[in-house]
Chains A and B, each alone.
Chain A
């Protein structure tokens, strides 16, 4: 489990394999949200275009880093993660993290101000 505050970043280090022609335009999309029966409900995300995919005669591994900034757009609570490799030939490739592994601490809250006064 990873606890995050607003202003933190969650860094996704993504690896995938490629072979065949050089390719431009592939994108990695990382999101924090809720994984449900009908898909993944994204709340905050980030996306990057993958560059430097050259011709590979055999399977080659590429690693790409993408950061998601934790903003007040997401309320405090436990969340899930999802990354997809998209804009590639064929279907998008999905990865899902462990459920509830991300905990957003949420905004600071204050309450119950009480005061006493007297003559010193």
Chain B
């Protein structure tokens, strides 16, 4: 039987981390374009009881919509006061990125509600240019 998220009975308009808090966003300070970048987002349940908490993430670097970060396991039920981390990843684009990590809680209305956010920058690590395989054809003009 699939586990269901535990709900906060009273849904409040948040975005200020009323029920959850993004404690940390861990990622390398720099990465080479095209490489797989691992992200770990730790979230705390600030509510007084067990609630379902979901993680989300997106990359800000000049494209719209912001590409999302893949979290294979994106939610869990947290006991009151507990912290838990979610591991995710993305492919580094050819630009420095600003990771936006989000926390959501599951409300009594059956929906996930955005609650908190934290950011972290990953700079672009230069990969030296490489060249190979010179081939030539020639003809009279």
Contacts and interface: CB of A to CB of B under 8 A. Distances in A.
Interface in B90-141: 94, 126-141
- Interface residue range, chain A: 35 or more
A17 B138 contact: no
A83 B134 contact: yes
A23 B130 CA distance: 9
Given A15-B134, A85-B134, A9 B140 contact: yes
Contacts of B129: 18-23, 53, 88-89
B34 interface: yes
A8 B132 contact: no
Given A57-B94, A58-B34, A83 B141 contact: no
Contacts of B128: 20-21, 89
Nearest to B132: A17
Main secondary structure of the interface of B (DSSP, over half): strand
A12 interface: yes
Given A21-B129, A88-B129, A13 B141 contact: no
Nearest to B137: A13
A93 interface: yes
A78 B128 CA distance: 40
A47 interface: no
A16 B131 contact: yes
A75 interface: no
A97 B134 CA distance: 12
Contact of A81 (B33, B94, B133, B138): B138
Given A11-B141, A17-B132, A93-B132, 10 more contacts: A4-B140, A10-B140, A13-B139, A15-B135, A16-B134, A30-B136, A67-B141, A85-B134, A88-B129, A93-B134
